[in-house]
Structure 1
Amino acid sequence: MLELTSIPDDIVAETVHTIGDIIRGNDEHQKFFGSFVNIVGGLQVPLLFNMLYIMVADKKQSFRLRISILYCLQCYLYKNDIGKSMIVQTLLPQTENANNEYTLGHLLTIGYLSKDIVASWCSGIALSHLIADSQQYKEAILKVVLAIDRSHTGVKTLMEISMDLLQNCSCSFHTRVAVLIFLCTWLSNCSLAVQTLLTIENSISYLISQIGSESTADDRELLIQSVCSFTIGLCFIFNNNQISLYSSEALERLINKRIGIDLFQEKLEVLSKSEFYIEALQKPQLKLSDPSDMILDYEFAHLYESLKSSISNMLTRQYINATARTLIVPISTNIYEQKISTMMTHYNNLIRQRVEETNMDNEKEKQWIQEHDMDKKNALALEQQIQKIKDENPIFNK
């Protein structure tokens, strides 16, 4: 059907979209879809490969069809460990013979690095769905390396290239958003991915600089700043503290110093008020009519919704704890020991005073009891004397 030019694009796009709805979350349908092949030039080519090729490389196809293919791919990957594993394997370093073959992984990376904003955005979103909810695949693609020149002598990891794309001034807004979505998905619930990002030179300083940029009226730049805040937040809450320079505590201090906790929280919240976010959170179906609509998708919106509060709460708690420590921890160890000694002396004196007061109270109580007993004896003796006088003088008995 994809090869038939006589069928209107809208019908093909709607059909692909419907196929996505049918296979989403259905093991049998996903397995059948993944095994389906087309005969192209006498060769059997997987349908998935044909569809991915159209999405990332065929600019002649309509935007709606390319987006429908992305949605269908998302549905294929949804809760499909077998399908995910198959594609992840094509991303990992291959044998020499396999390097000469185009694979699904090749197509995704070609699209990810493309200057065509539709290809780059779709590929970034597809990569995020490939590793979503799987720590295993997130850790696996840390090994992905790509050649950075034609000689293939220089290579960089996929995460390093992602940071390069972010910092490339010529990259479009849509590409930057897709890269950030991919990174956020990668970092969430994966401390090893966070550790790797923290070791990449200028990664944190770049994100901090974006968040701390002057206020702008451009809604899209505000959204970029907000997603950068979310990225830093994920580094904060999923930090294994193996990189001392960027441990959770160090990141909190850096945020407070370079941005300010309140401003960081404010930037983080910007995304939740965005119309793009509100619309993306409504349903998983991708219904985009124009490339300008390529911003957020449902899975990322859901990820942000589920972790935003955790970032805010943990950052606030860390800041309060750090502030409290600065109030009680002295700068000098000698001063600290001196204060401890003074406090201990004070408490010892206080305890001694309390003991002495208690002993005095006990003595007073003992003396009072003795005096009370003596008074009772005297009163009894007096009563006896009075009674004796009454007995000896009958006049008192009248």
Structure 2
Amino acid sequence: MELFKSGLRSVLGAPTVENPPSGAETVEKLINRARSSTLLDDRRDACRALKALSRKFRMEVGAQGLDVLVGLLNTDRSDSEILGYVLDALCNVTSKESLEEEREIAEVPIGQLEELGERFTEIYLKNPDNVRVILDILDEYDFHVRWPAVKLLTNLILNRPKDLQECILVNPMGVSKFMDLLCDSREVIRNDGLLLLGQLTKGNANIQKIVAFENAFEKLFNVVAEEGYSDGGIVVEDCLHLFLNLLRNNPSNQTFFKEGSYIQKICPFFDIAIPDGDMPLGWPSQKVVNVQLMLQVLQSLISPSRSSGGSGEVLFCQQLMRKCGLLEKMCKLLMTSGVPADVLTEIIHTVGDMIRACEASQEYFAELLVPSNPPQKALVILMMSMVNNKQPFGLRCAVLYVFQCYLYRNDSGKAQIVQTLLPSSTAQLTSVSVGQLLCSGLLSTQDDFSVWCAAVALSHTLVNSPQQKENLLKVHLAISRVGNPVLLLQQSFLILQQATKPQSKLGILMFLSQWLASCSSAVTAFLGLQSAIPFLISQVGSNESEENEDLVQSACAFLLGLCIIFNSNNDPSSNKESLKMLIAKRIGTEKFLDCVGTIGRHEIYAKALKSPQVRYNCVSEPLLDHEFARLHKSFEGMVVSEVSGEALKIDQSERDLNGMVQQLQASMASLQLENDRMKRDLEEARKNALPMLNGTLFPTPVRASVIESDDSGNLKSEIDALKVDVALKADMIHQLQRTLGERDATIEVLQAQKAQETESDNPHNVLKILDAERSRLLKATSELAALRMDQENMMDLLTDYETKISAYARRLKDLGQSVDEEDLDVNEIEQNLAEEANGGYC
């Protein structure tokens, strides 16, 4: 400290004890010295002192000397000592956190001290050249220059991220200099450079693309390998955060990662030692974080919520992960004892993403065996965990998700699950099956979440599976040893009646809705239950005020609506009209329709519809399932239209449309007949006129005296008659085109009105009607196109006809005959025909 004071006195001169200079005065003198000194040593000493004072008098150094310090970066570029001092001073001035020295003398709250860094950063970034200077300095290899330059850029990005990102985009070569930091042999610079890139790539897709194409993935994998993969420290974590920044919501980088064979380079990361016997594997906290982050990297490539790229890109990544052994490594870890619960949860989620809609991976997962005695299928062990309320909540959610992913677009998998429930199969089973576990979860009386999970899992065996819906009607449950087996449908409804919590009620209602949708036999069986309809009516009509009971009422109303639209109408007491009359009498149509739409207006519904992933924070949170939300979205309009009577209006409109189309077809037929007649007449006229025009009248040169005036007069009369006939037929075509156009316009107006009336109520029925009408209109349009082609052929013939007439007129003139060219010119007729064609039916 005494050495520093003596050095400061040598720079400033020794002040009198009676009147010591203030901090602001000292900073001012140093700033003037740094600005005006001609000797390099004097400027160096001034910068050294400013660096020291900037920790205590940050406000004064920043306010008075920011421009001077930036100027020194340009003027004294060759002196590494001055560069280091100036960069350190700028780092202190722009620090995001308050400094210890300034807190000791501060008379303002710490929050205001922390705002200083952002204010000075804003001033610094107003001039983009200030950033360019720092980027140029990054080329310096001197540790005392390069490291503070990295720290200064880190301060700038922390304080004003968007401003610095814009400056970097103006200087794109700066990204290359950032990437060079990852190759620096000095770990402190490499690690700080990694943090800088992590901040720089947040929320900016353009910078993310530049960084990726600067070979970032390769360099990051090298760092991860050097640090020991999952066993590495905080540096590996920083690398993985940067991976996520580059890949999430960036389709370009995701494609580049896939095509660059980087997925295969992830495999060594999961070469995790497996202990012998039952000895638990101890996982340090850093390893847990590293593995979880790498799992998120995989999920960013194959998650169903991936923003773009389509299912084809996801499927390609899934296939790569299976072929390179990543899926096998994940499944191996899944069955390894000692894996922390939170890591295991993420592994299960990742396996779900890996197999979703990927047939080969789903088959692999179905045959996966747990190394137990005797060996059991991994799917069975996982389902045991799902219906066991002693397992961690997050783990149970993850198991439900992987089960859904296994069944997604997997008809054989759904059939195998349902098959284990059928009477012919249950007697032959020697061990517990997935179907039995689901039924046991459904019958749970102490855990509502088990009921919800089992009901949702069963519902996924029925999605787009008409055959499995029929098969499930045959399933019986042995509720007790003395009682007779009960149908699964009957028992499910009994569970619904006895449930007291909204969660279990919604689970059963979603299961029943998925079962009854598009399955009239299931609807008939459900309506055959003695108290099914009265129970639903009472639920929809009640005035419950408990939390989430509105969702239960809405789900009941939706289930009742499915019973109407998929009703076979075989039983007069429970056909469509009877149910609608009952709704109108007991509930009220308006109230019922409003209740059906309650779910669709709920925040929980929007969240469930957005993503199929099952992630919740607490056990009471799961209420709605993704596939149920999709089902509700598909059939809500049909329910509303059927109950409100709009379906009758649509049927009447469809009949009106059919009548209009029939009239149109009749007009088209008449028009076609007329066109055929016109073509015959025109062909006959061509045969009569063209031989004369082609030279048959004058096979050899003759004198003018050979031509008699009567012959030319007859020819002109014949031409006049032909012109009149062509004009009449052109007018007839025009009239028919106009009639056809008016009728088509009428159909378009009717379609627009119908679409507007039914767009919000019944898009499904409207689409069916419009599809049918579109087919009819396409056929009519093709017929009209053929007619227009015939008309164009006639126009070509008239053009040829005009050429011949003109040639004949010139021949007559050459032979001395008097010819009225206006009488022989058919240009006007042709032009009229063209205008009529353009203004007619299109």
Q: TM-score range by the shorter chain?
A: 0.7 to 0.9
**Contact 2:451/2:507, CA 8 A, preserved across alignment:** yes
- What is the CA-CA distance between 1:22 and the residue it aligns to? 0.7
The code of the aligned residue for 1:180 comes to L
Residue equivalent to 2:526? 197
Which of the pair has the greater relative contact order for Cα pairs under 8 Å at 6+ separation?
1
Residue equivalent to 1:230? 558
Q: How far apart, in 2, do the equivalents of 1:160 and 1:30 lie?
A: 32
The code of the aligned residue for 1:68 comes to A
Residue equivalent to 2:341? 9
Residue equivalent to 1:339? none
Residue equivalent to 1:357? none
Residue equivalent to 2:383? 52
Cα deviation digits, residues 220-268 of structure 1 (max 9, x gap): 1111000000000000101111222110011111101111100100111
Q: Choose which of 489, 497, 500 in structure 2 pairs with 1:167.
A: 497
Q: How far apart, in 1, do the equivalents of 2:429 and 2:480 lie?
A: 15
Q: Are 2:355 and 1:23 aligned?
A: yes
Cα deviation digits, residues 54-87 of structure 1 (max 9, x gap): 1113x33210001100000000000101111111
Residue equivalent to 1:177? 506
Q: Choose which of 368, 382, 394 in structure 2 pairs with 1:64.
A: 394
- Secondary structure of 1:91's aligned partner: coil
Residue equivalent to 2:466? 135
The code of the aligned residue for 1:26 comes to C
Q: How far apart, in 1, do the equivalents of 2:353 and 2:541 lie?
A: 41
- What is the CA-CA distance between 1:118 and the residue it aligns to? 2.2
Residue equivalent to 1:269? 597
User: Which deviates further from its counterpart, 95-104 or 79-88?
Assistant: 95-104
**Contact 1:252/1:318, CA 8 A, preserved across alignment:** no
Q: How far apart, in 2, do the equivalents of 1:211 and 1:296 lie?
A: 18
Cα deviation digits, residues 20-72 of structure 1 (max 9, x gap): 011000000000000111121x2120111111111113x33210001100000
Cα deviation digits, residues 155-205 of structure 1 (max 9, x gap): 21111011101111x543211110000000001010110000000010011
Residue equivalent to 2:728? none
Over 3 Å counting, the alpha-carbon distance change for 1:28 and 1:251 in structure 2 is same
Q: How far apart, in 2, do the equivalents of 1:96 and 1:320 lie?
A: 47
TM-score by length of 1: 0.76
Q: How far apart, in 1, do the equivalents of 2:386 and 2:500 lie?
A: 19
**Contact 2:470/2:521, CA 8 A, preserved across alignment:** yes
- What is the CA-CA distance between 1:147 and the residue it aligns to? 1.6
Residue equivalent to 2:444? 114
- Secondary structure of 1:163's aligned partner: helix
The code of the aligned residue for 1:19 comes to V
Residue equivalent to 2:481? 150
Cα deviation digits, residues 105-139 of structure 1 (max 9, x gap): 11110011112122111110000001111110001
Q: How far apart, in 1, do the equivalents of 2:392 and 2:455 lie?
A: 19
- Gaps (5+ residues) in structure 1? 322-398
Cα deviation digits, residues 90-118 of structure 1 (max 9, x gap): 01113674255321111110011112122
Residue equivalent to 2:265? none
Runs of 4+ more than 6 Å apart: 318-321
Q: Are 2:516 and 1:187 aligned?
A: yes
Residue equivalent to 2:433? 103
Q: How far apart, in 2, do the equivalents of 1:96 and 1:252 lie?
A: 40
Over 3 Å counting, the alpha-carbon distance change for 1:54 and 1:307 in structure 2 is same
- Secondary structure of 1:291's aligned partner: coil
Over 3 Å counting, the alpha-carbon distance change for 1:95 and 1:186 in structure 2 is closer
**Contact 1:229/1:268, CA 8 A, preserved across alignment:** yes
The code of the aligned residue for 1:198 comes to L
- What is the CA-CA distance between 1:140 and the residue it aligns to? 0.5
Size of the aligned set, in residue pairs, is 317
**Contact 1:252/1:315, CA 8 A, preserved across alignment:** yes
- Secondary structure of 2:420's aligned partner: helix
Over 3 Å counting, the alpha-carbon distance change for 1:13 and 1:306 in structure 2 is same
Q: How far apart, in 1, do the equivalents of 2:610 and 2:391 lie?
A: 28
Over 3 Å counting, the alpha-carbon distance change for 1:70 and 1:95 in structure 2 is closer
Q: Over the residues paired in the alignment, what is the CA RMSD in angstroms?
A: 1.8
Residue equivalent to 1:365? none
Over 3 Å counting, the alpha-carbon distance change for 1:95 and 1:26 in structure 2 is closer
Q: How far apart, in 1, do the equivalents of 2:347 and 2:335 lie?
A: 14
Cα deviation digits, residues 336-356 of structure 1 (max 9, x gap): xxxxxxxxxxxxxxxxxxxxx
Residue equivalent to 2:583? 255
Over 3 Å counting, the alpha-carbon distance change for 1:114 and 1:96 in structure 2 is closer
Q: Choose which of 367, 370, 384 in structure 2 pairs with 1:38.
A: 370
Q: How far apart, in 2, do the equivalents of 1:265 and 1:218 lie?
A: 21
Identity %: 38
- What is the CA-CA distance between 1:217 and the residue it aligns to? 3.5
Q: Choose which of 188, 191, 213 in structure 1 pairs with 2:542.
A: 213
**Contact 1:252/1:319, CA 8 A, preserved across alignment:** no
**Contact 2:554/2:597, CA 8 A, preserved across alignment:** yes
Over 3 Å counting, the alpha-carbon distance change for 1:10 and 1:319 in structure 2 is same
Q: How far apart, in 1, do the equivalents of 2:577 and 2:339 lie?
A: 59
Q: Choose which of 597, 600, 606 in structure 2 pairs with 1:278.
A: 606
The code of the aligned residue for 2:395 comes to L
Residue equivalent to 1:85? 415
- Secondary structure of 1:60's aligned partner: coil
**Contact 1:198/1:243, CA 8 A, preserved across alignment:** no
Q: How far apart, in 2, do the equivalents of 1:320 and 1:88 lie?
A: 39
Residue equivalent to 1:344? none
- What is the CA-CA distance between 1:4 and the residue it aligns to? 4.5
Q: How far apart, in 2, do the equivalents of 1:96 and 1:75 lie?
A: 25
- What is the CA-CA distance between 1:293 and the residue it aligns to? 1.1
- What is the CA-CA distance between 1:14 and the residue it aligns to? 0.4
Residue equivalent to 1:364? none
- What is the CA-CA distance between 1:269 and the residue it aligns to? 1.2
TM-score by length of 2: 0.37
Alignment of 1:337-356 (within 5 A): none
Q: How far apart, in 2, do the equivalents of 1:194 and 1:69 lie?
A: 31
Over 3 Å counting, the alpha-carbon distance change for 1:96 and 1:209 in structure 2 is closer
Residue equivalent to 1:242? 570
Over 3 Å counting, the alpha-carbon distance change for 1:5 and 1:135 in structure 2 is same
Q: How far apart, in 2, do the equivalents of 1:219 and 1:54 lie?
A: 29
- What is the CA-CA distance between 1:150 and the residue it aligns to? 2.6
**Contact 2:420/2:426, CA 8 A, preserved across alignment:** no
**Contact 1:280/1:296, CA 8 A, preserved across alignment:** yes
- Secondary structure of 2:469's aligned partner: helix
Q: How far apart, in 1, do the equivalents of 2:516 and 2:500 lie?
A: 22
Residue equivalent to 1:372? none
Cα deviation digits, residues 343-384 of structure 1 (max 9, x gap): xxxxxxxxxxxxxxxxxxxxxxxxxxxxxxxxxxxxxxxxxx
The code of the aligned residue for 2:506 comes to V
